[in-house]
C-alpha cells in the first residue's frame, strides 16, 4: 500500500477519534470507560491496518503459493488479535465493550467515508 494513504487514514482517524472522545465527555455521566474502550479499539485498529500493510507489501514479493499461505496466516493472526482485544474489553470493568467495537471499526469507517467524500483520497499528498 501507499504509505501516504496510510498516513492520511491515521490522521483522519485521530481527528475523528478526538472528536468522538470529546463528545463522550459531554454526553455520558461516566465517560472514562467509554473513552478508554474507544481509544483501546482505535489503537488496535490502527495497528491492524499497519499489519495488513506489511502483509501486503511482503506477499507481493513472494511466489503465489507462498503468498497465499502467508496472507492466510496473517489474516488469522489479525483476527486472533481482534478476538483477544474484544475478550479483554468484555472482561475489564474499566473498558466499555461497545466503545471498543466502535474503535475497532473506526479505521474502516474513515476509509469508507474518505473514499466516498474525498475524490483525491488515493493520490499522494
Helices and strands, counts by H and E, the chain: 4, 0
Q: Where are the alpha helices (DSSP H) in the chain?
A: 3-27, 31-59, 64-91, 97-117
How does pLDDT run across 69-124, given as a tens digit for each residue? 999 999 999 999 999 999 999 999 999 999 999 999 999 999 999 888 877 766 66
Compute the distance between CA of residue 66 and CA of residue 60 in angstroms, rounded to an integer.
10
User: Phi and psi of 41, rounded to 5°?
Assistant: -65, -40
Compute the distance between CA of residue 89 and CA of residue 19 in angstroms, rounded to an integer.
22
- DSSP character at residue 117: H
70 grid coordinates: 502467508
pTM, two decimals, is 0.87
The mean predicted confidence, pLDDT, of the chain is: 92
pLDDT on residue 124: 61
Match 481527528 to its residue by C-alpha cell: 15
Compute the distance between CA of residue 39 and CA of residue 33 in angstroms, rounded to an integer.
10
Amino acid at each position: 500500500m501507499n504509505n501516504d494513504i496510510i498516513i492520511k487514514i491515521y490522521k483522519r482517524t485521530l481527528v475523528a477519534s478526538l472528536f468522538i472522545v470529546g463528545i463522550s465527555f459531554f454526553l455520558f455521566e461516566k465517560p472514562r470507560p467509554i473513552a478508554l474502550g474507544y481509544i483501546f479499539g482505535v489503537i488496535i485498529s490502527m495497528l491492524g491496518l499497519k499489519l495488513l500493510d506489511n502483509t501486503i507489501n511482503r506477499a507481493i514479493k513472494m511466489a503465489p503459493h507462498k503468498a497465499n499461505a502467508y496472507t492466510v496466516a496473517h489474516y488469522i493472526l489479525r483476527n486472533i488479535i481482534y478476538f483477544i482485544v474484544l475478550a479483554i474489553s468484555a472482561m475489564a470493568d474499566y473498558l466499555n465493550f461497545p466503545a471498543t467495537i466502535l474503535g475497532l471499526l473506526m479505521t474502516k469507517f474513515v476509509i469508507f467515508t474518505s473514499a466516498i467524500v474525498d475524490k483525491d483520497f488515493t493520490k499522494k499528498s
